[in-house]
Amino acid sequence: MGRQATGRGRNPRGQGDRLRAEIIEATLRLLDELGDDEALSMRAVARAVGVAATSVYLHFTDRDALVLATLRRCHDDLMRAADRAAAGADDPAGQLRARVLVLGTWSSRHPGLYRVLHESAVNRRPEMSFRHEVADSTTAAVRRCMDAGLAPAGDAALVALDLRAAVHGAVALRLSQPQLDWPPLAAQLDRFLTRLVGLRSADPAPATDPHREPQTPAPPPARSGEH
């Protein structure tokens, strides 16, 4: 115990931000392992970083403040990854597909963080308003598809909500029932895009996209009864 507390020297003046970042990094790892922010302790975070618990409290007043900052970082990283993937697509349909694929694959690869991000009691705090950015960016991506004639015109916000509900449902079921014979996630997401959004074109994610699954051809778009 003493070894962990003394294994790290004092941060030089001006490097408090670095320690704060290391604390958040450690919390990300622990939350992904635990899948429950209520099971997280400040002492466990301090041990993971190699500092005394008092050092953690200098940056975060309590566990909820630490969890909130960590979820903010998690969300920002996820949004940047989605933006990068979308930037590599050729048209609005490909951009929407790339964005949804990143969100879906990240959630399936980080089940613990996914659960905390969506199930934590901290989610009910007004400071968690940044979560609306995912909804807003998805709605904007759907609207661009409609404006470009790549999807039937309609209520972009409602269509985006249907799409997000389907993606979250698919991820949640895969996590709770992994024994089922699941199709590749990319293929399932393509079906959501054609049947819920009505995409007439789905540009595959670039081969350099680290979130990409093995390519599966998108099913043909639905023709009637869509909106």
User: Cβ–Cβ contacts within 10 Å for residue 189, how many?
Assistant: 24
Residue 182, pLDDT score: 94
HSE on the CB side for 188, CA within 13 Å?
Answer: 15
pTM score, two decimals? 0.77
Same domain, 36 and 90: no
Which of 163, 132, 159, 167 is closest to 143 using CA atoms? 159
CATH number of the domain to which 205 belongs: 1.10.357.10
The Cα 74–Cα 82 span in angstroms is 12
Kindly tell me the number of DSSP H helices and DSSP E strands found in the chain. 10, 0
Can you tell me the distance from the alpha carbon of 68 to that of 167, in angstroms, rounded to the nearest whole number? 24
Give the pLDDT of residue 163: 98
Angle at 174 between CA 83 and CA 82, to 5 degrees: 0
Task: Using only the alpha carbons of the chain, give its radius of gyration.
Answer: 20
Please indicate, yes or no, whether residues 51 and 77 belong to a single structural domain of this protein: no
Q: At what angle do helices 132-147 and 156-176 cross, to 10 degrees?
A: 120
Where in the sequence is the domain holding 119, given as residue range(s)? 70-227
> Closest Cα partner for 69 from 31, 107, 96?
31
Do 52 and 76 fall into the same domain?
no
Residue 142 and residue 78 share a domain: yes
pLDDT in tens, 70-80: 999 999 999 99
Which domain-ending residue is among 37, 60, 83? 60
Number of domains into which the chain is organized:
2
Q: Are residues 48 and 91 in the same domain?
A: no
123 and 205 housed in the same domain: yes
> What is the full per-residue pLDDT of the chain (227 aa) written as tens digits?
444 444 455 555 446 789 999 999 999 999 999 999 999 999 999 999 999 999 999 999 999 999 999 999 999 999 999 999 999 999 999 999 999 999 999 998 999 999 998 888 887 776 677 778 889 999 999 999 999 999 999 999 999 999 999 999 999 999 999 999 999 999 999 999 999 999 974 444 443 343 344 333 334 344 444 44
Q: What is the pLDDT of residues 85-122, one digit of tens each?
A: 999 999 999 999 999 999 999 998 999 999 998 888 88
